[in-house]
Amino acid sequence: MITISEAAQAHFVKLLSDQPEGTHIRVFVISPGTAQAECGVSYCPPDAVEADDTEIEFNGFNAMVDEKSAPFLEEATIDFVTDQLGSQLTLKAPNAKMRKVSDDASLSERIEYVIQSEINPQLASHGGNIMLVEITEDGIAVLQFGGGCNGCSMVDVTLKDGIEKQLLDMFPGELSGVKDVTEHQHGEHSYQ
């Protein structure tokens, strides 16, 4: 479920050495499955362990995950990176905003998962996002742009060279193209 690098494990062991005996860590997701999902790590003293927690053993400590967060922490990674600016603990949970779907899920569910877990995080740096409106009978994914993408002068390039290329590569034989239905209006919200 969660991969913790050796550097991060050593960091947690060091932090936990200053805590009361039996304290572990808790990895959690606030508002899992939503666009506002946030991941976190905290101390988990023995009296904070819940009966339905998943307990994952690591070298020198255990990680507790509550039942609600568990499906959204699939493929999560925690690392401890040191560079010239200092040290930083990083937690990446690609499924926090949307639970990973199975390979046999419907095409629209699998596309929606890719949009939420891969495409929208990239567009968010420009204040933008996309939403799947429908998949037509001839395999066209109809998308609606929002936020900073609405009215952006690069939206056609983003659609054809980025999103369409990525989705066609991921869903060969199932998807034949991508279409934008947004009525773009340039304004102060648009990314320049």
Cα(88)–Cα(33) distance, integer angstroms = 26
Cα(17)–Cα(14) distance, integer angstroms = 5
149 among annotated binding-site residues: yes
Residue where the block lists tokens 């009361």: 20
Residues 6+ apart with CB under 8 A from 15: none
Q: Determine phi and psi for 153, rounding to 5 degrees.
A: -70, -15
39 among annotated binding-site residues: no
Cα(24)–Cα(26) distance, integer angstroms = 7
Residues 6+ apart with CB under 8 A from 121: none
Residues tagged in the binding site annotation: 149, 152
Binding positions for [4Fe-4S] cluster are 149, 152
